[in-house]
Amino acid sequence: MKEKDLNIDCPYHQVVLYAEKEDGTFGPFQTGSYMTGVNISEHFRVTGNLSKSLIEQLKAGTISPVYYYMMIEGLNIDELAGRTGISKFKIKRHLTLKGFRKMKIGALKHYADVFNIPVANMFQIIYTIEDRNWDMGYQGEVDDSKTGSISQKKTNNPYVIETAVTRTTK
């Protein structure tokens, strides 16, 4: 193939391929992965929709935080039981709000460890600032003319609150 036929715009996943250059020689050519370039947008769309749906269910109190994080992490009951050491029977109960309410703090700590979050995050939905300055590894200039504030509000789920970080101009 020729270099011009391999040019895929996908900064998320780069690959090096050998291609025919314009002068007829062959050499390495860095480009985006075709499969990633084609599928990454669909993946982000699907996972974004899943996340929004789960947050709405969590706020409404139709699912427990354990169910929310299990789905976000892409785990099933068997995998969660193996990682937490909690029986599948108890996990099934903890997926409901009624079962979550009756859960012991030790079980909550096991779940938080598996989900790699603080226990406190099991009780709140956190919205962060959608700003490149907050991205890990961002190297640009930070806008010091803005300050941040944190607000919290209740949801229909008696065990979960919404926590939001907002930016305001000084």
The verdict on 132 and 158 lying in the same domain is yes
The verdict on 84 and 132 lying in the same domain is yes
- Smallest CA-to-CA distance from 158 within 115, 97, 114 is with 97
CATH of the domain at 165: 1.10.260.40
Of 48 and 154, the one with more pLDDT: 154
The verdict on 138 and 161 lying in the same domain is yes
The verdict on 51 and 14 lying in the same domain is no
Q: Range of 14's domain?
A: 3-32
Q: How far apart are CA 96 and CA 11, in angstroms?
A: 40
Taking only the tens place, the pLDDT of each residue in 44-61 is: 788 889 989 999 999 999
Residue 4 CB-density burial (10 A; 0-12 exposed, 13-18 middle, 19+ buried): exposed
Flag whether pLDDT at 83 surpasses 50. Answer: yes
The verdict on 125 and 81 lying in the same domain is yes
Write the DSSP symbol of residue 113: H
The verdict on 126 and 148 lying in the same domain is yes
The verdict on 68 and 105 lying in the same domain is yes
Domains of the chain: total: 2
Flag whether pLDDT at 103 surpasses 90. Answer: yes
The verdict on 19 and 78 lying in the same domain is no
Flag whether pLDDT at 2 surpasses 60. Answer: yes
The verdict on 108 and 25 lying in the same domain is no
The verdict on 43 and 119 lying in the same domain is yes
